[in-house]
Amino acid sequence: MKPPSRTPLATVLSTCVLVLALAVTASALTALAGRAAPATAAAGPGRRWVNTWTGMPQLTEPANLPPAPYTGERAVLVDTTLRQTVRVTAGGPRIRLRFSNAYGDTPLPLTAVTVALPRDGRAGVSAVEPGTLRRVTFAGRDSTTVPVGAQMVSDPLDFQLRAGSELTVTAYTARGQASLALTSHPGSRTTSYLTHGDHTRDQDLPGATAVDHWYLLSDVEVLAARRTEAVALVGDSLTDGRGSTTNGNDRWPDQFYDRLHGDAATSDIAVLNQAAGGNRVLDDGLGPNVLARLDRDVLSRSGVAWLILFEGVNDIGTADATPEAQRAVTEDLIAGYRQIVVRAHAQGIRVYGATLTPFGGSTLYDDPAGEREAARQRVNAWIRTPGHFDAVLDFDRAVRDPEAPDRLRPALHAGDWLHLDPEGYGVLAAAVPAGLFRHTS
């Protein structure tokens, strides 16, 4: 009988190495899956991230920079706590913040950030409700640096938000931004507060400097029910709220939101105000033109299903009051509108066009020969023509004076024959058919 064969030592060692390698590979894959799971499953079953508040980023003009001593010769917000409130339009159990350095030419260091509910749920207050203050982290750390031209998204935070409520966001930057190129949204119509030192965990900021601007913060996202969707509003000062009440949340987007949330069928729709005073469709003004900012402000926002476009008055009003210039701006505006529709449709977003409201009597834009009014009429005729937009919102008809259709109704404007007062903005909000916002999925 032959003795049993022996396996060569080399073969045994090779087998052991192979088994060990497979075990290590399996362990590595398990670890990777474990690390990826929180990010992948962050939304959880039946939920998704949706933008609940936005403030269109702009380069801060010198007049809108923080007052001294928060702005120096070569830096801004050094050793400064900034506390600001924003009104969210969709609710949920978790939130994320986005900070923007879109117009900074140096990195933006954020040393500490907290969130809380404001005292008594009010807009524009410096105090927060006791027991609601929470620390915000970035990749597990208290601090982060936003690169030049970039944005930074916070870690998800368990923080219950109710739709229509106010959120307080407090940020401290020890070193500040080492230039005066600060990213902000000046037309906040909401009071913010500045004070030296790190007061991110304080319940109130007595003696803080009040400013009616938003700085650095560009978005709040909420983990919402899967069916929650957003409507983005692209516009100029009429949508940004010039003439509305500071801390009153009575811009037309706010009043439109109130209407939507008064109806059970549309109560879970978020409203994103992506407007800025002086903005134009074709050329840069206060902020980049719409054709340049469409991807950033609409197409990349979480959960957007609809776009309302209400912009063009500044394009007409800043073009020369000659027949040639006004014919050209009319043609260019229409071509720009077509581009916006095509690009939004490619992302499955329905686009509703709003007719341009009158500016007769405005010292800024009215002209004796009526060339700009003729251009407005031509643009509105195109907007009203079926097939160009998915639906038309006739804001012109809603607020114009029946006796003088080139002018706003006297009781609705803010004194300049161009912007509306809160009552006028309520008329615009009422002119948007809620039936246009039925869920797309």
User: Residue 434: what pLDDT?
Assistant: 86
Report which of 323, 297, 301, 318 is spatially closest to residue 309, judged by C-alpha positions.
297
User: Residue 25: what pLDDT?
Assistant: 39
Helix axes 422-430, 252-260, angle to 10 degrees: 40
Separation between Cα atoms, residue 250 and residue 253, nearest integer Å: 8
Which residues of the chain are under the pLDDT cut of 70? 1-44, 440-441
| Residue 208 contacts residue 195 (beta carbons within 8 Å) | yes
Report which of 398, 289, 373, 414 is spatially closest to residue 339, judged by C-alpha positions.
289
pLDDT digits (tens, 9 = 90+) for 227-283: 999 999 999 999 999 999 999 999 999 999 999 999 999 999 999 999 999 999 999
| Residue 224 contacts residue 168 (beta carbons within 8 Å) | no
User: Residue 44: what pLDDT?
Assistant: 66
User: Residue 46: what pLDDT?
Assistant: 86
User: Residue 45: what pLDDT?
Assistant: 73
DSSP codes of every residue in 397-427: HHHEETTEEEEE-TTTB-SSSSSB-HHHHHH
pLDDT digits (tens, 9 = 90+) for 19-73: 334 333 343 333 333 333 344 335 667 899 999 999 999 999 999 999 999 999 9
User: Residue 2: what pLDDT?
Assistant: 38
